């Protein structure tokens, strides 16, 4: 008997997945040599599942800024900003983020997960109402629990369903907080933000958009889905992360909220955790500059996304509704998903195996994310491996289509 006995229901499925080959939840890279390449068991693999959208993890300027900061400021802050103080870099990053988004205020968190936890639990509490897209990220669900607010879910990306549920709440809809994501991390689909903003305004609710996967990816300036949809003024709170397009770790909130400073003393996930180390802050600041200065990165990312999505769709794989830096291939069942995932790895392609309940509609997925740093040749390699394996395992019914 042990405390973990209650989780033994996971034992057989986990062992089954492990028995099929490599453990997909504990892949160990011997080396990562670029934003798109790693070594695993002495073999080179193409990294196609790392959310490294702009490929900035190996950007020379980011590395240099980070190295300089670690020498100048040391390896860590060894505590929270509340207790150990704010380093100049934290303040500079907050100022830069606020300016980038055209907002009065910004606040930096130690991870993206904690940003959702800290922001949502600070904004709503017992007696407040929180309205979540059904496919929300785990950090949003966990934030909901921490907040102790009353939580209502609406059907994924469905503004009419959102409207119906808010109307059902009567007077309580006014002042409730709606939370949606820019790009959803499993299928790569985007929220119909314009329509949701219309609902929010009619019902007198607040709106928070998590741009974790869309910052640096969508919008002319890279500010995300709200910018792309032209509705930034009607989005009350924007949350994001440094661990995807900015190539480091951390999270943030920007808003025009007048009493913003109060959030710093009521947000437990902000207050009771160590702040980001100077090296991370420095590389993030530089990556934000790169994101702002080089719109070519976004153009290249979209071209790469198009190449992968079009290629997979043309072969006959079941992919998401539109090209996106996240492309998920729907697998018929979990056994095939595990088999394909292992075979892809054997053939030098690393991506993510995603299985229910982490995926929408109980479907196992092979989830990939492209980077601006991928070459067209790398994506061609990935596509040919997919085609070969798809035919070998009977996933592709149609014969090979001549490429254009």
Which residues are 253's β-sheet partners? 107, 239
Q: Which is nearer to other proteins, 161 or 234 (CB)?
A: 161
Choosing from 244, 245, 267, 374, the catalytic residue is: 244
**The two three-digit tokens of residue 250, written as one number:** 């951390």
Q: Which of 60, 357, 394, 399 binds other proteins (CB under 8 A)?
A: 357
Q: What tokens appear for 1 in the block?
A: 């008997």
Q: Which is nearer to other proteins, 85 or 175 (CB)?
A: 175
Residues 81-140 that bind other proteins (CB under 8 A): 129, 134
- Taking the C-alpha atoms of residue 361 and residue 240, their distance in angstroms, rounded to an integer, is 25
Written as six digits, the tokens of 107 are 């606040």
The answer to whether residue 191 forms part of the interface with other proteins (CB under 8 A) is no
The window from 90-98, 165-173, 246-254, 341-349 that contacts other proteins (CB under 8 A) reads 165-173
Q: Tell me if residue 275 is catalytic.
A: no
Residue 185 falls in the annotated catalytic set = yes
Q: Which of 262, 261, 239 minimizes the C-alpha distance to 251?
A: 239
Q: Does 144 bind other proteins (CB under 8 A)?
A: yes
19-78: contacts with other proteins (CB under 8 A):
none
Q: Are 317 and 329 in contact, with CB atoms under 8 Å apart?
A: yes
Q: Is 379 in the site for other proteins (CB under 8 A)?
A: no
Catalytic residue among 90, 129, 200, 213: 213
Centre a 10 Å sphere on the Cβ of residue 136 and count the other Cβ atoms it contains.
20
Residue 155 or 322: which CB sits closer to other proteins?
A: 155
Interface with other proteins includes 168 (CB under 8 A)? yes
State the DSSP code for 56.
G
Which of the residues 185, 255, 267, 371 is marked catalytic? 185
User: In 3-state terms, what secondary structure has residue 159?
Assistant: helix
Residues 205 and 172: their CA atoms lie apart, in Å, by 9
Residue from 80, 96, 148, 342 touching other proteins (CB under 8 A): that is: 148
C-beta of 169 vs 330, nearer to other proteins: 169
Residue 87 or 163: the one with the smaller Cβ distance to other proteins is: 163
48, 108, 149, 282: which one contacts other proteins (CB under 8 A)?
A: 149
Residue 327's closest CA among 305, 343, 347?
305
Interface with other proteins (CB under 8 A), residue total 16
- Choice from 142, 150, 256, 294 touching other proteins (CB under 8 A): 150
Q: What are the Cα distances from residue 394, in Å, to 53, 108, 365, 368, 403?
A: 31, 48, 17, 21, 20
DSSP 8-state secondary structure symbol assigned to residue 233: G
The nearest distance, CB 336 to other proteins, in angstroms, is: 19
Tokens for 350, please give them.
């690393």
Q: Which of 151, 239, 291, 396 binds other proteins (CB under 8 A)?
A: 151
Q: Are 134 and 154 in contact (CB under 8 A)?
A: yes
43 is catalytic: no
Contact flag: residue 152 with other proteins (CB under 8 A): yes
Could you give the 3-state DSSP secondary structure of residue 192? Answer: coil
Is residue 193 within 8 A of residue 236, CB to CB? The reply is: no
**Which positions lie near other proteins, rule CB under 8 A?**
129, 134, 144-145, 148-153, 155, 165, 168-169, 356-357
């Amino acid at each position: 008997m042990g405390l973990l006995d209650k989780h033994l229901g996971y034992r057989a499925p986990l062992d089954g997945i492990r028995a099929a080959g490599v453990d997909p939840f504990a892949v160990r890279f011997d080396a990562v040599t670029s934003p798109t390449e790693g070594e695993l068991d002495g073999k080179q693999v193409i990294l196609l599942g790392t959310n490294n959208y702009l490929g900035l993890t190996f950007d020379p300027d980011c590395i240099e800024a980070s190295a300089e900061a670690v020498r100048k400021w040391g390896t860590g802050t060894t505590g929270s900003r509340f207790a150990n103080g704010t380093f100049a870099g934290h303040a500079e990053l907050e100022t830069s983020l606020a300016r980038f988004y055209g907002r009065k205020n910004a606040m930096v968190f130690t991870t993206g997960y904690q940003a959702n936890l800290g922001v949502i639990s600070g904004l709503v509490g017992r007696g407040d109402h929180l309205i979540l897209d059904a496919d929300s990220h785990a950090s949003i669900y966990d934030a909901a629990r921490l907040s102790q607010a009353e939580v209502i879910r609406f059907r994924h990306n469905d503004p009419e369903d959102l409207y119906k549920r808010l109307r059902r709440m009567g007077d309580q809809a006014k002042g409730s907080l709606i939370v949606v994501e820019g790009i959803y991390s499993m299928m790569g689909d985007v929220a119909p933000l314009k329509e949701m903003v219309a609902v929010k305004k009619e019902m007198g609710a607040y709106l928070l958009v998590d741009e974790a996967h869309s910052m640096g990816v969508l919008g002319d300036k890279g500010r995300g889905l709200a910018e792309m949809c032209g509705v930034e003024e009607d989005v009350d709170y924007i949350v994001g992360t440094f661990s995807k397009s900015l190539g480091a770790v951390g999270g943030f909130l920007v808003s025009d909220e007048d009493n913003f400073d109060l959030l710093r003393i009521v947000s437990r996930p902000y207050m009771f955790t160590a702040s980001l180390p100077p090296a991370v802050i420095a590389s993030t600041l530089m990556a934000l500059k790169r994101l702002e200065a080089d719109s070519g990165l976004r153009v290249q990312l979209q071209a790469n996304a198009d190449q992968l999505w079009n290629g997979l769709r043309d072969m006959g794989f079941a992919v998401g509704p539109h090209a996106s830096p996240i492309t998920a291939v729907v697998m018929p069942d979990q056994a095939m998903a595990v088999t394909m995932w292992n075979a892809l790895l054997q053939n030098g392609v690393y991506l993510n195996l995603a299985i229910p309940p982490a995926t929408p509609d109980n479907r196992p997925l092979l989830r990939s994310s492209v980077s601006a740093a991928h070459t067209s040749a790398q994506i061609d390699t990935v596509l040919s491996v997919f085609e070969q394996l798809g035919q070998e395992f009977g996933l592709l019914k149609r014969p090979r289509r001549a490429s254009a």
